[in-house]
Structure 1
Amino acid sequence: MPDPTLYPVRLADEITRQLGQLADHLAQLPPHKATQVIARVVDPADGVLGGVTRLVSTSSVFAKIQAENGALPAEVWLALGRASNELDAIGGDLDEHRETLQHVSSRPHTGAAKPPAPAPLVVRRRR
């Protein structure tokens, strides 16, 4: 009988491999297509970032139970909890720009048009 824990480990490895492929493709896409991909990746509900955040949050709950049972150090649970909170905050920050990403990615590609004017890269964050 196959080891039932093998499938989730292989699944995690496969997802990691596919994320690498996605990053490679993203680096080669034209700007309007890359923006479409980025908008999907950072979508907090259905995107990669939202999925990773849920996975780390689930891992944190698991680690808490294991820490309470003495199987894991409490520091592991705390680190996963902090990571989950940080990812959630990052998702919130990026969600502020979701409409812009979707708008830019839905514009028809016009080919060799005049490039947009460069923008300064220093931006003040609102909190």
Structure 2
Amino acid sequence: MSHPASYPVRLADEITRQLGQLTDHLAQLPPSQAAQVIARILDADDGVLGRFTHLMITGSYFAKDQAERGILPPEVWLALGRAANELHDIGLDLDEHHDALRGVAAQPAATPAKSPVPAPLVVRRRR
């Protein structure tokens, strides 16, 4: 007889399902609402990206402890730590664009009097 999944496993499955739903909704939202949702997702403290980064940091601490006990290979801890660091860096990169997303979200749904000028999408990245 199989054991029912623990609450944290069911919670992870439910969050995964809800992220799929959010993705589906995001693809169909008007620009101002999509920008508002994306800005909330990218919030460094309370957004999905910020919370996921903290989850990966916690996972890295767990993996470190298990690696020190010889239960997990050290490569698992290193990979989780690297992922947490990369997510943190991505969050910092995206944080500088938070105001631009909020600006789009704050615009009225009506068409502006002056059409926006398309921008070339080739941008050099700072590192």
What is the match of residue 124 of structure 1?
124
What is the match of residue 47 of structure 2?
47
Structure 1 alignment gaps of length 5 or more = none
Q: Number of matched residues?
A: 125
Compared CA separation, residues 29 and 113, structure 1 to 2 (3 A):
farther
Distance 2:115 2:18 in 1: 32
> Which amino acid counterpart does residue 60 of structure 2 have in structure 1?
S
Superposition CA RMSD, Å: 1.7
Aligned ranges for residues 8-27 of structure 1 at < 5 Å?
A: 8-27=8-27
Secondary structure of the corresponding residue to residue 27 of structure 2: helix
TM-score, normalised to structure 1, is: 0.91
User: Alpha-carbon deviations, 1:62-121, whole Å to 9, x = none?
Assistant: 000000001100000000000000000000000010111112111222148664222100
> Which amino acid counterpart does residue 100 of structure 1 have in structure 2?
A
The 8 Å contact of residues 63 and 76 in structure 2, kept in 1 or not, is answered as yes
Structure 2 alignment gaps of length 5 or more = none
Q: Report how far residue 126 of structure 1 moved.
A: 2.6
Structure 1 stretch displaced more, 13-22 or 113-122: 113-122
TM-score, normalised to structure 2, is: 0.91
The 8 Å contact of residues 31 and 104 in structure 2, kept in 1 or not, is answered as no
Distance 1:113 1:7 in 2: 52
Distance 1:5 1:88 in 2: 30
Q: Percent identity?
A: 68
Query: Which runs of at least 4 in structure 1 moved beyond 6 Å after TM superposition?
Result: none
